[in-house]
Each structure stands twice: as C-alpha cells, then as structure tokens.
C-alpha cells in the first residue's frame, strides 16, 4: 500500500543499470557501439528529467569491472565515448546544476581518461541541483573489498558504520529506487552494499528507449511501494500518526 498521490515522494537517489544498448543496435543492423552512443543520448535526457523532477542523486553503471572482457573494439568504443562525453557535456551539466562524481577503480584507466575524469569533477564541483555518480570500471564487490582493505590498513574496526563511511558512495544517501532496463532482472554487481533497502524496478525497455515517460512510470511504481525498513505496516501507520512530517 503506497502513499496517496498528493503525498507522493520523489526518490532522493535513483540508481540505474543502463542495459540494452547492444540489442538496440543489433536490431537496427548497427555495430554495438552505435547502441552505446545512443545510450549517451538517453543518459543526457534522463539526467535532465531527474533534475526537473527534483531527484537529488542519480547513479549510473557506465562500465563494469567485468566489461573489460567484451570485444576489444567495443571496449575501445566505450572509452572513446567517455572521452567525447567528458569534452562535450560539462557546459550543459553545469547549466543544469549537475555535479559529476566518478566512482570506480581509476588505476586501470588510461592517463587521458583518468585526467579527464578529474577535470570534469573539478569543473562541476560547485553545482548543487543533482549529484551524478558515473560508475566506471566499477563493481559492487570491488567497492566492499576496497573499503574493508582501507579499514584494515588504518587499523580500524570493521562495523556497518565504518564500512559504509569507507565505501565509494559515502558522499550520498543510499539509493531509494534501483532501475534496470533491458528486460533482465538481476543486480549484476551494481551497488550491492548500498541497495540493501532500494526498491527494485525492472523495465523491458532497452536503455536507448528509456524516456521521460518510462522514468515517470518507475517513479510512480516506487511511490506505490510501502518502505518498511524491517518494521510492520501497523508500526508505520503509528509512526505517521505520531509524526506526520517524518512519514
């Protein structure tokens, strides 16, 4: 049982696995990289839509630790797309108030890309309408292992709070809504720790076709969910009676 529409809350943090670029291209007899190129267009539209709807954080899976295993031409196509996007998108992102943050292992990236990521982050650092986390050379297990190793190096105890603070997304709240496009229903090593209480939404649309209306469908589905965080429905109703603001 969700809240009535008048009280509907926009998810503060939306996370997306942008799946289906390859199939979008193949169905049009195009190379897979053409699908990723169209995926960048779809991402641009989605960022704008999130800003317009008051979403505060958008986290997208652009390149996984496992994507290195794809054909060489696809990997280099994705790297070229990243270089192009870094050069082109920053002015528009700044106009829209978007602060860029790249999440993932930078050690494995070329110097050109690593420098481009830093430059884009610095150029958008004071923007404050939406944080856009682009996960690039990222894996959820990598993130957890890296955080644990960091704590071990510092000689700190491993607790939920200390691990959470050492993770790559410690600068934002956990995702409220986790969307995967492309018809598959799995997490694929994305935000494993952070999605403990995320509402999952699976769309059959391929990522290049995921438009504003599709985002609105996902947000509407989220608004119909009851987020209990381990409590019962009766407890939630009781909390709402006692503190209507917090509910």
Which residues are catalytic, by number? Answer: 19, 67
In whole angstroms, the minimum distance from the beta carbon of 171 to ligand FPP comes to: 21
Q: Does 15 bind ligand FPP (CB under 6 A)?
A: no
Q: Does 210 bind ligand FPP (CB under 6 A)?
A: no
Q: What are phi and psi of 9, to 5 degrees?
A: -105, 130
Count other C-beta atoms under 10 Å from residue 55's C-beta.
23
129-154 burial, b at 16+ Cβ within 10 Å, e below that, comes to ebbbbbbbbbbbebbbeebeeebeee
Q: Does 182 bind ligand FPP (CB under 6 A)?
A: yes
Interface with ligand FPP (CB under 6 A), residue total 19
The footprint of ligand FPP on residues 59-98 (CB under 6 A) is: 62-63, 67, 78, 81-82, 85
* Closer residue to ligand FPP, CB minimum distance, 10 or 81: 81
Among residues 11, 29, 32, 65, the alpha carbon closest in space to that of 207 is found at: 32
The footprint of ligand FPP on residues 24-63 (CB under 6 A) is: 36, 39-40, 43, 62-63
In whole angstroms, the minimum distance from the beta carbon of 93 to ligand FPP comes to: 12
* Closer residue to ligand FPP, CB minimum distance, 78 or 167: 78
Q: Does 102 bind ligand FPP (CB under 6 A)?
A: no
Using CB atoms within 10 A of its CB, is residue 246 exposed (0-12), middle (13-18) or buried (19+)? exposed
**How far apart, in whole angstroms, are the C-alpha atoms of residue 152 and residue 155?**
5
């Amino acid at each position: 049982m969700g809240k009535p529409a008048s009280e509907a809350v926009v998810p503060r943090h939306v996370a997306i696995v942008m799946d289906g670029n390859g199939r979008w291209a193949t169905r049009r007899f195009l190379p897979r990289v053409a699908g990723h190129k169209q995926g960048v267009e779809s991402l641009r539209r989605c960022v704008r839509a999130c800003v317009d709807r008051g979403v505060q954080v958008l986290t997208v899976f652009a390149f996984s630790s496992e994507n290195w295993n794809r054909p060489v031409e696809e990997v280099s196509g994705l790297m070229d797309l990243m270089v192009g996007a870094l050069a082109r998108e920053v002015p528009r992102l700044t106009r829209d108030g978007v602060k860029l943050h790249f999440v993932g292992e930078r050690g494995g990236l070329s110097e050109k890309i690593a420098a481009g990521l830093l430059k884009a982050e610095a150029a958008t650092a004071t923007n404050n309408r939406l944080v856009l986390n682009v996960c690039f050379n990222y894996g959820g297990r990598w993130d957890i292992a890296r955080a644990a190793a960091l704590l071990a190096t510092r000689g700190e105890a491993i607790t939920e709070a200390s691990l959470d603070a050492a993770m790559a997304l410690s600068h934002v709240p956990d995702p409220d809504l986790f969307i995967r496009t492309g018809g598959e229903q799995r997490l694929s090593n994305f935000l494993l720790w952070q999605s403990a209480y995320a509402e999952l939404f699976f769309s059959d649309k391929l990522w290049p076709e995921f438009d504003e209306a599709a985002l609105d469908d996902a947000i509407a589905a989220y608004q119909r969910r009851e987020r209990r965080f381990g409590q019962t429905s009766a407890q939630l109703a009781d909390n709402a009676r006692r503190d209507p603001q917090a509910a």
